[in-house]
Amino acid sequence: MRYYIGPEARLRRTIEDTAMSVFAAWSYEEVITPSVDYYDLFEQGMGQAEAQRGFRFTDNDGRLLALRPDVTSSVARMAATLLSERPRPLRFCYAAPVFRQQPQSHAEWRRENTQLGCELIGTNGHTADLEVLRLAAEILARLNLDSTYCITINNVEIFNGVAAHLNLADHAREELRRLIDTRETAELQRFLQSFANDEARAFLQPTQLTGKREVIRAAREVITNSRSLAALDSLEELWTALDAHGLAAQFEIDLSDVSSLDYYTGLSLKVFVHGAGTSVGRGGRYDGLTGNFGRAEPAVGFVLNLDALTEVLARRMTDV
């Protein structure tokens, strides 16, 4: 629960307008989705664990409703149903509040957050990935956050390839994922001792998982399975393109970003800004999502958290 009054409200509006004007300049059409929808939609769109963080209640006929915990689910359904005949690619953007229950006393405590987001649906490959990354970078630059933000990128197929190669059962795969996500090197080492195969050694150097192009080179030295290698190639291609656009300073490769493996299918990204203790944005490629609504096609997008950005920029204004 949060009020914005006077100058703060103006600042928040300016940030929203800036983001929406950048989206518009890149031919993204605004979309406004229902704030209340059937809970099923979000479970199909986000997976059960995430959707359950939404606020749920029942309609008069007993059907379960939810305050939208994300916008992407609605956009994906819309693309697969209402707009199934429209020529691809589809480009949509939005500025809309989403509602989630938050564990008390955790840093991301707000129940209501406004997402500034975009979805690029129906096109594959690194040109689409590059487009949304450049969009995110442009918005942050237009907000005068240049040199104080960092976008980390990863390709979740690198981890998936290694996990498949190790032939892990579900719970072991989740344990491996958790240990990499929190960079628990000592435990990870113990975990891997039981495997003859040592591909996962790629994740053992917590200080070598994050960086520029050299991270990919280091990973290639230990990873041999073809699925991970293809993902490394694609990540490197993306990096080369970012570099060519002069964005290498603002981006980092982070092979340990494996937080939402069930959702993303390729690129995953996180946005960090000096002054904010948690990430202020995230996104990636989710080619599996629209298939849940009857029409499988590639899709990529991201969201920025308007409230977190407002807080950072408001503090900066008073500090000056």
Partner 1 sequence: MITIALAKGRMQDDALALLARAGVCLNEDARNSRRLAIADESGKYRFVFVKPADVPVYVEHGIADCGVVGRDVLLESQADLLLPLDLAIARCRIVVAAADPEIMTRSLGMLRVATKYSRIAATHFGTRGIPVEIIQLSGSVELAPALGLSDLIVDLVETGRTLRENGLSVVEEIAESTGRLVVNRASYQLKSEPITALVKALGAVVNGEERA
Residues that bind partner 1 (CB under 8 A): 103, 105-107, 148, 150, 152, 182-187, 206-207, 210-211, 252, 254, 270, 272-274, 276-279
Let me know the angle formed at the C-alpha of 92 by 86 and 98, rounded to the nearest 5 degrees.
Answer: 130
- Closest separation between CB of residue 108 and partner 1, Å? 8
- Token duo for residue 195: 């495997």
Record the tokens describing residue 37, joined without a space.
Answer: 């929808």
Which amino acid, one-letter code, is at 308?
A
Q: Are 312 and 21 in contact (CB under 8 A)?
A: no
Q: Of 35 and 148, which has the nearer Cβ to partner 1?
A: 148
* Residue 133: CB minimum distance to partner 1, A: 15
Report the run of H or E that residue 75 belongs to, with start and end: helix 72-80
Report CA-CA distances (Å) from 111 to 55, 294, 302, 304: 9, 31, 20, 16
**Minimum distance from residue 171 beta carbon to partner 1 (Å):** 12
> How far apart are the two ends of the chain, measured CA to CA in Å?
27
Query: Nearer to partner 1 by C-beta: 17 or 187?
Result: 187
Q: How many CB atoms lie within 10 A of CB 117?
A: 28
Select 70 or 254, whichever has its Cβ closest to partner 1.
Answer: 254
Find tokens 């390729």 and name the residue: 266
- Shortest distance, position 96 Cβ to partner 1, whole Å: 24
Closest distance of CB 271 from partner 1, Å: 10
Task: State both tokens at 264.
Answer: 């993303």
Instruction: Provide the minimum distance between the beta carbon of 180 and partner 1 in the complex, in angstroms, as a whole number.
Output: 11
Q: 76 near 299, Cβ under 8 Å?
A: yes
